[in-house]
Amino acid sequence: MGKLLVMGIGNMLLTDDGVGVFAAQALQKESFPPNVTVMEAGTFTHDVFYLFEGYDAVLVLDIVHAQGEPGTLYRLSEAQLVDDEKQRLSIHDIDLIDSLNMAELLHGKRPQLRVLGMEPADYTTWNIGLSSRVQARFEDFLAVAREEILALSAAL
């Protein structure tokens, strides 16, 4: 059975930028199949390549800038992130792709990348907590994350 790493990315001090970290914290309290690891990765996505060793897939939870309404949910593949500049994670996406490339160089393989993101309303205000528009969709974000986790972990 392959292994899935679920990473919550973002800065909890910048309002909605922390949605991925808040989601990881919530999901860490839940039970998932034994091939699933849920962790907070913060904003240091260029330094996480060593974490990918032994994982076959990575599900990233983060904000996505796609000019949608705040709270809009997105499911993206690595190809969609690379090919469509409108579908951008926060500032972390390029570092994350670089980390996947480094993991491949170091370990000889790279995990499959999937992203579950949410359009932010505010990611520049210093505040611990989510904006009301993103908070209103947070339970939906968690529900979709659970679906993705179970589907990916079963497919590995």
pTM across the whole model? 0.90
Over range 16-29, report the average pLDDT: 97
The residues with which 111 forms a beta bridge, in sequence order, are: none
Token pair, residue 148, equals 């993705």
Q: What is the pLDDT of residues 85-108, one digit of tens each?
A: 554 554 444 567 777 778 788 888
Q: What percent of the chain has pLDDT over 70?
A: 89
Q: For residue 52, with 0-12 CB atoms within 10 Å meaning exposed, 13-18 middle and 19 or more buried, which class applies?
A: buried
pLDDT value, residue 108: 85
pLDDT value, residue 90: 47
pLDDT value, residue 97: 74
Over range 107-112, report the average pLDDT: 86
The CATH number of the domain where 144 resides is what?
3.40.50.1450
The residues with which 39 forms a beta bridge, in sequence order, are: 7
Task: Name the pLDDT band for 146 (thresholds 50, 70, 90).
Answer: very high
Q: Is the dihedral of CA 10, 16, 22, 26 positive or negative?
A: negative
Domain of residue 90 covers: 4-155
Distance of CA 148 to the CA centre of its chain: 11
Q: What is the pLDDT of residues 27-68, one digit of tens each?
A: 999 999 999 999 998 876 656 777 888 999 999 999 988 889
pLDDT value, residue 32: 98
Closest CA to 73 of 84, 83, 85, 61: 61
pLDDT value, residue 48: 73
**What total number of domains does the chain contain?**
1
Phi, psi of 139, deg, nearest 5: -65, -35
pLDDT value, residue 52: 84
